[in-house]
Amino acid sequence: MNSLLLNTDGVQIPQLGFGVWQVPDDEAERAVSFAIEAGYTSIDTARLYFNEEGVGRAIARADVPREKLFITTKLWNDDHDRAEAAFEASLSRLGLDQLDLYLIHWPVPAQDKYVQAWKSMERLYKDGRVRAIGVSNFTIAHLERLMNETEIVPSINQIELHPRFPQPELRAFHEANGILTEAWSPLGQGRGLLDDPALATLGRKHGKSPAQVVLRWHVQLGNVVIPKSVTPSRIRENIDVFDFTLDPEDMAAIGALNNGTRLGPDPATFNWMG
Ligand code: NAD
């Protein structure tokens, strides 16, 4: 498993992790336990997924020591003005005494509290409560504002990113500013994208599935990637992407699938509080 260096004092994040959005608490415990047995060491949850306890039970049960795991959770939209309390509540649901990565889940520009939230995250980082801090669904404008008005550059921005929506401008901005790009819905949520004949052709060429081809494309772009599945065979399949290489023409063929299709909400206007 490759790891990528965050811009924070030598902290490394596994390049491929396991996402648990829309997985109920009990099922999350089973799926995360299976994923850890299958070799995943990075888990991505959020307050809003309502499964931090299940993730925490899987971590507690795991044969892998805590320090070998990388756990991410996220600050929800209605907690921007009480980030430190929300953080401690998440940590307690996870059963942990320190978190690896805490993200602001959405900027919610309409409420204009993300700068305040970031200043609380900076305090959590400086106090050693969390090893790295970052954001999710931030646009270039939101990132620039944080960089102008606060001290610490986010280590990562977790954004919607898949072959139909590859976000080249935002990735270039991240790269220029030492921010890692983390791709959510990396498989385009499964159906649709994965049925594309171009991916089947590349899969046949490399002896891999369409999902593996897409995950390999992310790895070669330098993205951190967090596919979700609750199906054991797919959980195993999705981590088995480090033994083949896509050629430049394969990368270009996947790049040609870009049709600007966003699956999730637009971060500039999203203000749902849950
Ligand atoms: P995804 O792109 O990972 O797709 C998951 C779906 O693809 C599965 O439910 C399954 O139907 C299918 N699938 C998975 N593996 C497959 C395989 N090998 N073959 C065929 N089909 C397969 O979608 P996602 O769950 O939306 O995103 C992954 C993770 O990203 C989430 O679980 C969550 O952790 C994170 N996320 C974050 C945000 C955010 O706002 N920060 C938003 C959405 C998701």
pLDDT, position 9: 83
- Per-residue pLDDT 10s for the chain (274 aa) are 799 999 998 999 999 999 999 999 999 999 999 999 999 999 999 999 999 999 999 999 999 999 999 999 999 999 999 999 999 999 999 999 999 999 999 999 999 999 999 999 999 999 999 999 999 999 999 999 999 999 999 999 999 999 999 999 999 999 999 999 999 999 999 989 999 999 999 999 999 999 999 999 999 999 999 999 999 999 999 999 999 999 999 999 999 999 999 999 999 999 999 8
Reading the block at residue 223, the tokens are 């993205």
Quote the CA–CA distance of 239 and 5 in Å, as a whole number: 19
Quote the CA–CA distance of 86 and 108 in Å, as a whole number: 17
CA atoms within 13 A on the CB side of 1: 21
Quote the CA–CA distance of 132 and 42 in Å, as a whole number: 14
pLDDT, position 191: 83
The amino acid sitting at 29 is E
Atom 19, ligand 1: residue with shortest CA distance: 211
pLDDT, position 1: 79
Reading the block at residue 94, the tokens are 């996870």
148 CA distance to ligand 1 middle (Å): 33
Quote the CA–CA distance of 179 and 168 in Å, as a whole number: 14
Whether 258 lines ligand 1, by a CB cut-off of 6 Å, is no
Nearest atom (ligand 1) to Cα of 106: 40
4 CA distance to ligand 1 middle (Å): 21
Reading the block at residue 129, the tokens are 């409560």
3-state helix, strand, coil in the chain (%, to 5): 45, 15, 40
pLDDT, position 55: 98
Q: What is the pLDDT of residues 128-150, one digit of tens each?
A: 999 999 999 999 999 999 999 99
pLDDT, position 118: 98
Whether 21 lines ligand 1, by a CB cut-off of 6 Å, is yes
Whether 42 lines ligand 1, by a CB cut-off of 6 Å, is no
**Known active-site residue 49:** yes
Whether 19 lines ligand 1, by a CB cut-off of 6 Å, is yes
Which domains occur in the chain, in start order? 3-193+223-229 (3.20.20.100)
pLDDT, position 223: 98
Quote the CA–CA distance of 45 and 48 in Å, as a whole number: 8
Using the structure block, give the residue that is written with the tokens 């965050």. 6
